[in-house]
Amino acid sequence: MSEPTTTTVEVNGSPCRVWTKGSGPKLGVLAGFGGLPRWIPFLDELAKARTVIVPSLPGYPGGALGHTTLDTHLDWLLAVRQLLDKAGLAGADLLGASVGGSFAAEMAAVFPGTVRKLALIAPFGLFDEADPAADPWAQRRDNVPALMCADPSKWEALVAPPEGANSIEWPIEMVRAAEAAARAFWPLGNTKLEKRLPLIEAPTLVLWGEADRVLPPSYAKKFATAINGAARTQTIPDAGHLAYLDQPEAVAKAVLGHLG
Amino acid sequence: MKLMWFHLMPYTELPDDFNKKHPSVWVDIHSSLFDPRRAHHMYNDFMDELEYAAECGFDAICVNEHHSNGYGLMPSPNLIASSLARRTTDTALCVMGNSLALYNPPTRVAEEFAMIDCISGGRLIAGFPVGSPMDTCYAYGQNPSLLRERYYEAHDLVKRAWTEKDTFAFSGRFNQQRYVNIWPRPIQNDPHPPIWIPGGGSIETWRWCAEMDYVYCYLSYYGYKAGLHTMQGFWKEMEKLGKDRNPYRAGFLQFVGVAESRQQALDLYTEPAEYFYGRCLHVDARFALPPGYTTEATQRAGIEGMMAKAANVANPATKAALKATNMKDIVDGGYVLIGSPDEVIEQIRHVGTSLNVGHLMLLLQYGNMSKDTTKYNTRLFAEKVMPHVKDLFSGWEDKWWPKPMARSQRAAVPGFRPQTVAAE
């Protein structure tokens, strides 16, 4: 597994890390809850067929303190738009998962020219009182791994401090990622995205981990129905909320199949 | 030293098996446990107790704000304070306080506090807590990542609303108001009612209190031993900032149970103390740390281990770890001071001098303590302890105490006399 190249772009004066790996048409990836404190096998799967470009959202690992100036949902959307532009992703295919999935959908809705084909993995943005999402910010620490992944060790591996990590700053960065998600999606994850889904014309694949304990898999259909462009859903077996951690190959295969 | 009588207003009839059957006293405590007809009596008992404390000569009576909370039945402390304003005459009214970011617009706080100040003739102490995670982020749905910024902005707005003479427009990051012009306005207008800040042990809060010249209050339930490091940290920071050691810059909360003897105190106060530390502090850990609530600087200090020295209970998760629930540990830990009047005098003087705290907020009612026991504790403290500790810090001026209207200028409030029923 070779290393990606790392560059930095600035959004609102704050640095955001951009990873790039592979060759072929560009595919942007906006990661889910917790962000990407480290490179993961899923991205290698995608890089086999695509130039994978992974910008860090403000506040997530690699995204410094950029979230602290984002007060409104519009602030967030404009920041993500700038991030995509500066990462060279304007007009490219876009994949987003969880919190990143919500922003990917927003980009396709609000800035239609920005996204060619769209792939979403269990995106935030909706809330159904009859089938409520779990509260990811009110969890005892030991419950979090099994909430995020069907195989809790996958989450633990994501957030484990690497050798040589700063033992003070690493845990603070992990909390910051949860804070950045909270800043945009507290308290219910409901950004009223449903109002904007009908603006999405891009062909869209909606993937959902069969064992998602954060967002009910029933939400997949709500997305597919509301999106105006061709949209279909697909369930990933043996996968939780962060399906790309649980089943990197199956998710990558589905995404690449959709993008063609 | 100022001796202030604080009520949390705990629900006194949580069942014996509460901790086994219920995950949390706070946020999602079950409605079936609340009997409004019993609460009618609790509220009236509690208000009787506060009024009694005023009669007994305490310098202030104190109330606070909690939401969805089985040990704090005051979502609106202002309602209680306004009633107390009519039923007391000279005692300061300490509302400790209103969680500014929860009010929309925050000028509501400026208005209601001004009302209390007017009704009471200028006896208000205005407390401005950020508020606990359970109250603010969970019960009230506030965004933990924005809470502090909203709090500071609301503070600026309230202060301007109190002090600016002309109607003004406020164009803030979170609040936009074209016409800010509160009516009524506080009696204490030179420049505004005293502002006190209850906080954890963060250095940012200490610095802010120093900069604004506010009283910093450390309201821990874990007593003077656990609070020592925090208060030492506070005074060290004041020294760094070139502030004097005026003990009236600080407030501190302490549970006390006084009786004729130590044994009698144990007999009287063990049950209510164990009820409080057992049932009332049974808070689900999942509500302790919403991400963003604790600043990164404070997290950093905590991880570096400074918190253990400077403010070991700044974060609620640490608090939970400290928790003792049996009377021996509660007393040994200094959570509750107990003893004969002489023993309590000695301990209170020790608390005052070791923490250098001029405003001692006393919890003399806690847990399921009955009204009779509460009044006994209150009276004995007032008669046998207070006279022997009041002299502490007499060399210092309390610049942060309310300045009411002269007594002769204040309205006479007649006692309420219900109409007698003529039927008999």
Would you call B354 an interface residue with chain A, using a CB distance cutoff of 8 Å? no
Rounded CA separation A225/A236 (Å): 19
**Number of structural domains chain A divides into:** 1
From B30's Cα to the closest Cα of chain A, the distance in A is: 17
Which pTM does this prediction carry? 0.95
Summarize pLDDT for A102-125 with one digit per residue, the tens.
999 999 999 999 999 999 999 999
pLDDT of residue B305: 64
Going by the DSSP 8-state scheme, the letter that residue A195 receives in this structure is G
Nearest to A182 among B143, B173, B300 (CB): B143
Domain coordinates in residue numbering, chain B: 2-409
Minimal CA separation from A71 to chain B, in Å: 8
Cα B141 from Cα A238, distance rounded (Å): 33
Report pLDDT digits (tens) over B69-78.
Answer: 999 999 999 9
Sign of CA dihedral A29, A35, A38, A40: negative
Q: What is the ipTM of this complex?
A: 0.95
Q: Which residue range is the domain that position A85 belongs to?
A: 5-259
Q: What is the pLDDT of residues B254-281, one digit of tens each?
A: 999 999 999 999 999 999 999 999 999 9
Give the percent of chain B with pLDDT over 70.
Answer: 94
Question: How far, in Å, CA of B181 to CA of B164, rounded?
Answer: 9
pLDDT band at B201 (very low <50, low <70, confident <90, very high): confident
What rounded mean pLDDT belongs to chain B? Answer: 94
Would you place residue A68 in the very low, low, confident or very high pLDDT band (cuts 50, 70, 90)? very high
Give counts: helices (H), strands (E), chain B.
15, 11
- Cβ pair B291:A176 closer than 8 A: yes
Q: Do B286 and A143 count as a contact with CB atoms less than 8 A apart?
A: yes
Best A186, A188, A190 residue to mutate vs chain B (most B CBs within 10 Å): A186
Residue B321: how many other CB atoms lie within 10 Å: 11
- Please determine, for residue B303, whether its predicted confidence score (pLDDT) is greater than 90: no
B153-197 pLDDT, tens digit each: 999 999 999 999 999 999 999 999 999 999 999 999 999 999 999
Is residue A165's pLDDT more than 60?
yes
User: Would you state the pLDDT for residue B313?
Assistant: 46
Cβ neighbours of A178 in B, within 8 Å: 291-292
Average pLDDT over residues B80-92: 97
From residue A161, alpha-carbon distances to A68, A168, A232, B10, B297 in Å are 24, 10, 37, 43, 20
- Backbone φ, ψ for residue A250 (5° rounding): -65, -40
pLDDT of B308-344, one tens digit each?
Answer: 444 444 444 444 455 688 999 999 999 999 999 999 9
Please give the mean pLDDT across all residues of chain A: 97
Mean pLDDT value across residues A75-81? 98
Domain B2-409 - what CATH class?
alpha beta
The pLDDT, as a whole number, for residue B416 is: 74
Q: Name the 3-class secondary structure at B99.
A: coil
B221 vs chain A: nearest CA distance in angstroms? Answer: 23
- Which residue of B lies nearest to A169 if distances are taken between CA atoms? B300
B296 pLDDT above the threshold of 90? yes
Mean pLDDT of the region A9-28: 98
Contact state of A186 with B145 under an 8 Å Cβ cutoff:
yes
Are B14 and B279 within 8 A, CB to CB?
yes
| β-bridge pairing B176-180 and A231-236 | unpaired
Residue of A nearest to B285 (CA): A140
- Chain B residues whose CB is inside 8 A of the A176 CB are 291, 296
Query: In this structure, which long-range contacts are made by residues B40-45, counting pairs with CB atoms below 8 Å and at least 24 apart in sequence?
Result: B42/B9, B42/B11, B42/B12, B42/B73, B43/B9, B43/B73, B45/B371
Window B:113-152, CB contacts with A under 8 Å: 137-138, 141, 143-146
pLDDT at B310: 40
| pLDDT range class, residue B351, cuts 50, 70, 90 | very high
Which pLDDT value is given to residue B312? 45
pLDDT bucket at A146, cuts 50 / 70 / 90: very high
SS3 assignment for A81-94: HHHHHHCCCCCEEE
Subunit contact A137:B300, Cβ cutoff 8 A:
no
